Amino acid sequence: MSAGTAYESLSVDTLPERLKAVSALADHVGEDATAWQVQEVGDGNLNLVFIVTGPKGKAIVKQALPYVRLVGDSWPLPLYRAFFEYHALTRQAARDPGSVPRVYHFDEAQALIIMEYLAPHVILRRKLIAGERVAGLAEFLGRFCARTAFRGSELSLASGDKKADVALFAGNVEIPAITEALVFTDPYFDAEMNSHTTGLEPVIARLRGDVALKVRVQQALQRFVSNTETMLHGDLHSGSIMSTDSDSRVIDPEFVQYGPMGFDIGMLCANFLMAYFSQPAHRVADLADYQDWILGVITDTCSVFEAEFRHLWATERTGILYPASLFEDQGHDSTPACDAVLKGLWRDAWAVCGIEMHRRCLSLAHNADFEDIAYVALRARLEARNLMMGADLIHSAESLAGATAVCALAREYNGKDVL
């Protein structure tokens, strides 16, 4: 199968015949395609994901579908997202080596990426629901977010390289448009594809009636669409992270775009907060301990992020922004400048965090942390805490005293009956 061939989606049955000539795949799984076993394991909202097992080993074949898998062919979606995912993976691998799966092969016409099979990694969201801990998670995620944020910005990149990259990724239109609608807009009105847990109506009415909240969310959206500070993963939730008990990787950057430096870490923290709020439905015995562990992951991720960002500021500030010629070379400390950049970054992060907490309960594509709770009244009670805390974060994003304050707020809401 070559780049010139017209696109056709793969199936478990056709994959061996169609990909047997791709040496990058045969190198990893073995030459004899008749001996390959193929499983389709895609559980995301958009793509086909195959595990190919052969005599030599395993590989992942990920192929974009021309529509949203979650909804069906009534919602077409461009295949070009595989192109942007491939380019995002190469940049993430360069900016934080070892953080993403290795890419073996990319076929633009077939919208497919062949990449490293991660084992025994599983989707982090599943581990959080199961109450499992991951050693080194905060260190890994804090460094990933800081390195990709810093090294993808004009704090580090040459201006021409950054502009070329912004231009390249500006072609990814329809995928970020999903975020613009599903994340930033739909939760705040009665949009067609919305759904919510029965019982949440009074909380939803409060959120949708809060004009100041809607203004803040739209301000965050304005920054998301018009501020091209750095290359974002764009969809950094716990379903985009694969972990063992002591190793993690980030996957699935097809929502890549250039955007505000606080976006990824804000979305990530939201997903840990939703894991936190959902825990009373998933366990009894070690509930308090496990919830403490999740909050610890949030505070540690944020402090590793900040330490790594400051380290990169001191050692890799090679771009046009805040140059040493204006600060260190003049005998002037640049710490206040770094403080100011981080202040804006956290403001953006906490606003996005609150918005993500809203969208996963109100718009399309809810998360399993809450969705797996069969007892609807309990689910509503837990989601209500999450929704009201989200509103607090959006309102106070500018003045919050860091992740410790956010976690203190989470503890307050966790003990509150909001409904």
Min. distance of Cβ 240 from Mg ion in angstroms?
Answer: 6
Strand-pairing partners, residue 259, are 230
Structure tokens at 343: 């202040």
Distance, CA of 87 to CA of 371 (rounded, Å):
33
Q: Which among 42-50, 54-62, 105-113, 120-128 is the span making contact with ligand SR1, rule CB under 6 A?
A: 42-50
Is 369 near Mg ion (CB under 5 A)?
A: no
Token pair 């993430």: residue: 92
Q: Toward ligand SR1, which CB reaches closer, 20 or 121? A: 121
Q: Does 70 bind ligand SR1 (CB under 6 A)?
A: yes
- CA 240 to chain CA centroid, Å, is 6
Q: Tell me which stretch binds Mg ion (CB under 5 A): 20-28, 245-253, 273-281, 299-307.
A: 245-253
CA-based nearest residue to 144, from 101, 87, 100: 100
Q: Is 235 in the site for ligand SR1 (CB under 6 A)?
A: yes
User: Smallest distance from the beta carbon of 47 to Mg ion, in angstroms?
Assistant: 8
182 binds ligand SR1 (CB under 6 A): yes
Query: How many residues bind ligand SR1, per CB under 6 A?
Result: 11
List, as one string, the DSSP characters of 18-37. HHTT-HHHHHHH-S-GGG-E
236 binding ligand SR1? (CB under 6 A)? no
Residue where the block lists tokens 């052969």: 54
Among 16, 44, 176, 234, binds Mg ion (CB under 5 A): 44
Sign of the dihedral defined by the CA atoms of residues 366, 132, 262, 277, in that order: positive
Supply 127's token pair.
Answer: 């581990």
Asked if 55 contacts 36 with a C-beta cutoff of 8 angstroms, the reply is no
Task: Tell me the closest approach of the beta carbon of residue 88 to Mg ion, in angstroms.
Answer: 12
Supply the minimum distance, in Å, between the C-beta of residue 189 and ligand SR1.
17
Q: Is 101 in the site for Mg ion (CB under 5 A)?
A: no
Q: Minimum Å distance from CB 239 to ligand SR1?
A: 7
329 to 388, contacts with ligand SR1 by CB under 6 A?
A: 364-365
DSSP string, 130-191: HT---TTHHHHHHHHHHHHHHHTSTTTS-HHHHHHHHHHHTT--HHHHHIIIIITTGGGTT-
The tokens describing 200, both together, are 């949440």
Sign of CA dihedral 393, 399, 404, 409: negative
Q: Per rule CB under 6 A, is residue 268 in the interface with ligand SR1?
A: no
- Residue 178 touches which member of Mg ion, ligand SR1, none, C-beta under 5-8 Å by kind: ligand SR1
Q: How far apart are CA 86 and CA 64, in angstroms?
A: 12
Least distance (Å) from ligand SR1 to the CB of residue 363?
8
Q: Is 186 in the site for ligand SR1 (CB under 6 A)?
A: no
Residue 182 binds which of Mg ion, ligand SR1, none (CB < 5-8 A, kind-dependent) = ligand SR1
- Residue ranges that bind Mg ion, judged by CB under 5 A: 44, 252
- Residue ranges that bind ligand SR1, judged by CB under 6 A: 44-46, 68, 70, 178-179, 182, 235, 364-365
